[in-house]
């Protein structure tokens, strides 16, 4: 799986003018499932996301997790994270999971984050979404289970 975490002061996603998810302080999580991914990757990544200390403490050091600050997660599917860009000028997306599997992985990640106690808001899988965010820091972490 490929995930991009962005620490945000706020974020929202709309589909056809309807807000499907919105959060205050927390994480915008862009997610791309890949063909060989399983529930093992989902569980591992959710645990890392919930405990990752990328929020500032009282001394301004990144020492607090999303759980520590009582933050929320906005989870958005983004198959383009698997984009192959080296050959030609139009990226290919054959390394992304097929839609059915991608959606299953996306929903499983949302469910696992919720199970870990995080408030989770979502985009709409496969939709043309408009994502707005106020980056905080900016702090952006790229997670890729194929490169761990």
CA distances for 28 relative to 5, 89, 118, 141, angstroms: 6, 28, 13, 11
Catalytic residue among 19, 80, 132, 140: 80
**Residue 88 pLDDT > 60, yes or no?**
yes
User: What's the pLDDT band for 148 if we cut at 50, 70, 90?
Assistant: low
Domain ranges in the chain are 2-147
CATH code of 2-147, in short, is: 3.50.80.10
Q: Is 80 a catalytic residue?
A: yes
Q: Which of 6, 55, 78, 125 is catalytic?
A: 78
Q: Name the one residue in this structure whose structure tokens are 């709309």.
A: 14
CB 141 within 8 A of CB 65: no
What is the arithmetic mean of pLDDT over 82-90? 92
pLDDT digits (tens, 9 = 90+) for 122-143: 999 999 999 999 999 999 999 9
20 in catalytic set:
no
Instruction: Reply yes or no on whether 145 is catalytic.
Output: no
Task: Return the percent helix, strand and coil in the chain, to nearest 5.
Answer: 30, 40, 30
pLDDT above 90 (res 146): no
3-state secondary structure of 110: helix
The active-site residue out of 6, 55, 79, 125 is 79
Query: Mind listing the pLDDT tens digit for each residue in 37-52?
Result: 999 999 999 999 999 9
- Residues 116 and 82: their CA atoms lie apart, in Å, by 27
């Amino acid at each position: 799986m490929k995930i991009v975490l962005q620490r945000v002061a706020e974020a929202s996603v709309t589909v056809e003018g309807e807000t499907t998810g919105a959060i205050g302080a927390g994480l915008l999580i862009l997610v791309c499932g890949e063909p060989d991914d399983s529930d093992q990757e989902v569980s591992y990544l959710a645990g890392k996301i919930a405990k990752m200390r990328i929020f500032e403490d009282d001394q301004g050091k990144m020492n607090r997790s999303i759980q520590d600050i009582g933050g929320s997660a906005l989870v958005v599917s983004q198959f383009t994270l698997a984009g192959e860009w080296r050959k030609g000028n139009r990226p290919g997306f054959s390394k992304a999971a097929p839609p059915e599997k991608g959606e299953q992985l996306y929903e499983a990640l949302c469910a696992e984050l919720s199970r870990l106690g995080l408030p989770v808001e979502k985009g709409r899988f496969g939709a043309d979404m408009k994502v707005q965010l106020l980056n905080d820091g900016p702090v952006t972490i790229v997670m890729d289970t194929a490169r761990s």
